[in-house]
Amino acid sequence: MILFLDFDGVLHPEGEDHILNGVDFCFLPRLEALLREFPHVNIVISSSWRAHLRYKTLMKPFSSDIRARVLGMTPYPGCGLPPPYRPREGEILAWLQLHDAVDEPWVALDDAYWQFDHCKDHLVVCGSFTGFDDKASAELRARFEGTSR
């Protein structure tokens, strides 16, 4: 299974307060703990941060064992499939095509539900200001359990 991972509104609350208050990636330990229970899940970064930061920089917040499971990042904004797909889902579908993984099970962990139209059934939504909370964790766990190998 592939987890397409957003950062803002998922790994920390949305907005600039997370930078000022030093809570960048405050929910990452919770996500990493869940991922350790499901070694068959790999990660692709779908965050908009990928357009502004180098890949090596994007990897720094992750623990080394989880970092080893990051397969890469989705194409840059605007490089996804054209309409009728929303930007984020188009970038995810483009990544799947580029990596010959269209038949792989996948889930997107994101707060930007409006970025999905045709693929909402693959989406676990986080609240932009609550991030990866208990509700999102339980839903993601259920998705992972449904694809255990």
- Tell me the per-residue pLDDT of 123-137, one tens digit each, with 9 for 90 and over: 999 999 889 999 999
Express as a percent the part of the chain with pLDDT over 90.
69
In 74-139, the DSSP E strands lie at 106-110, 123-125
Question: Distance between CA 29 and CA 60 in Å, rounded?
Answer: 13
The reply to whether the predicted model has a pTM over 0.75 is yes
Q: Average pLDDT for residues 12-37, to the nearest whole number?
A: 81
Q: Alpha-carbon torsion 111, 114, 116, 121, what sign?
A: positive
Q: What is the CATH number of domain 2-145?
A: 3.40.50
